[in-house]
Amino acid sequence: MRLNYYKDTDSLYIDLSSRPSAESKEISEGIVLDYDAEGNITGIDIDNASTKIDLKEVILNKIPAEVEAVRA
């Protein structure tokens, strides 16, 4: 999983899978889910992210793998 924040557009993309998306659905204003050909969620796009979520802190709990931390 990757979190990609684009400051110039204030957009956060949460990449959940390496599979290509085949379909997208807006589930709420400015929040779009991407799906692969089998209907699995591959990503989440959040427009105007700084007004919808707290971008200053990301907390990972009980992750079953090694975590690489990067501080912006």
- pLDDT < 50 regions, the chain: none
pLDDT of residue 60: 74
Give this prediction's pTM: 0.81
Radius of gyration of the chain from its Cα atoms, rounded to whole angstroms: 13
Q: Domain extents for the chain? A: 2-52
* Residue 9 identity (one-letter amino acid): T
The 3-state DSSP class for residue 55 equals coil
Sheet holding 23-28, edge to edge: 2-6, 11-15, 41-47, 31-35, 23-28
pLDDT of 56 reads 87
Q: What per-residue confidence (pLDDT) applies to 57?
A: 83
